[in-house]
Structure 1
Amino acid sequence: MKDLMGMMKQVKEMQERMQRLQEELGAIEVTGTAGGGLVSVTLTGKGDMKGVKIDASLMKPEEVEIVEDLIVAATGDAKAKVEARVAEKMAEVTGGLPLPPGMKLF
């Protein structure tokens, strides 16, 4: 029975660390870029978009499609960076134990 109590305590501690991690992820901001920096997108650690910046040189009617593609590319870049940061934070919380396949924080 003593082992069960110890395990329950560890589960509670892990839950508390996960809650703190969720709060930290909301505060993290990561910027992805595309087109050599002409377009940038900022996401939170939870994947919420916080901002988009587009260089004025792209603001021509004939380049709308290019700008749209660059926004998508910059968002993908920022998302990859967010996922890397989340993985780092998860390693800190779980002590390096991997999450089960398919389990995500956001």
Structure 2
Amino acid sequence: MEPGGFNIQDLLQQAQRMQQQLLDAQQELADAEVTGTAGGGLVTATVNGQGEVTGLTIDPKAIDADDPADTAETVADLVLAAIRDAGRAAQDLQQEKMSPLTEGLPGGIPGLPGMGGEGDFPGLPGFPSPGDLEGPGGSRGPGEAGGPRTPGSPG
């Protein structure tokens, strides 16, 4: 037993197991695929568990040959909506896979997508406090550029 009542070797082994579990979960996310749809299924976007678009399908019924300009605009809107829908599904999957591994940790794991980051450890060198991140528009919040999203947050 080390001074202070704990064994440093046990702590290191536990940290190594957790690191391997995190790496395994990240690989599962990279290998996973989720889909999002728009227009009643006229457009389907496929993304991996990390949110990278891997496929896009546009049903020919979405195309109106008599009005190409309007069709192009409509299809573009449907593509964006399908990608956003798939992105939300990917974030839900990230939360599902990663949250059990990060429970009990202060603010999640800095540097992992959706798992926290700067501001998670206020007052520690290299980790600015949330007030330091405020700019002219206020603080960075969930769903905003650079901020983690939570399930149900506006997107």
CA change 1:23–1:39 in 2 (3 A) is same
**1:41 alignment partner in structure 2:** 45
Pairs aligned (count): 105
Report which of the two has the higher share of helix: 1
**Whose relative contact order is higher, 1 or 2, with alpha carbons under 8 Å and at least 6 apart?**
1
Structure 1 stretches of at least 4 aligned residues deviating more than 3 Å after TM superposition = 96-99, 101-106
Larger radius of gyration, structure 1 or 2?
A: 2
Report which of the two has the higher share of strand: 1
Compute the displacement of 1:99 (Å): 6.8
**2:134 alignment partner in structure 1:** none
Which blocks of at least 5 consecutive residues in structure 1 are unaligned?
none
Cα distance in 1 for residues equivalent to 2:97 and 2:43: 27
Per-residue displacement from partner, 1:60-90 (whole Å, max 9, x unpaired)?
A: 3131101101111111100101111111111
Cα distance in 1 for residues equivalent to 2:106 and 2:86: 22
Aligned with residue 82 of structure 1, among 90, 98, 120: 90
**Percent of aligned positions with the same letter in both sequences?**
35
CA change 1:99–1:33 in 2 (3 A) is farther
Contact 1:32–1:75 (CA under 8 A) maintained in structure 2: yes
Q: TM-score, length-normalised on structure 1?
A: 0.85
Compute the displacement of 1:57 (Å): 1.5
Per-residue displacement from partner, 1:21-40 (whole Å, max 9, x unpaired)?
A: 11111110000001111111
Q: TM-score, length-normalised on structure 2?
A: 0.60
Compute the displacement of 1:101 (Å): 6.0
| Alpha-carbon RMSD | 2.1
- Residue identity matched to 1:73: A
Which blocks of at least 5 consecutive residues in structure 2 are unaligned?
114-155
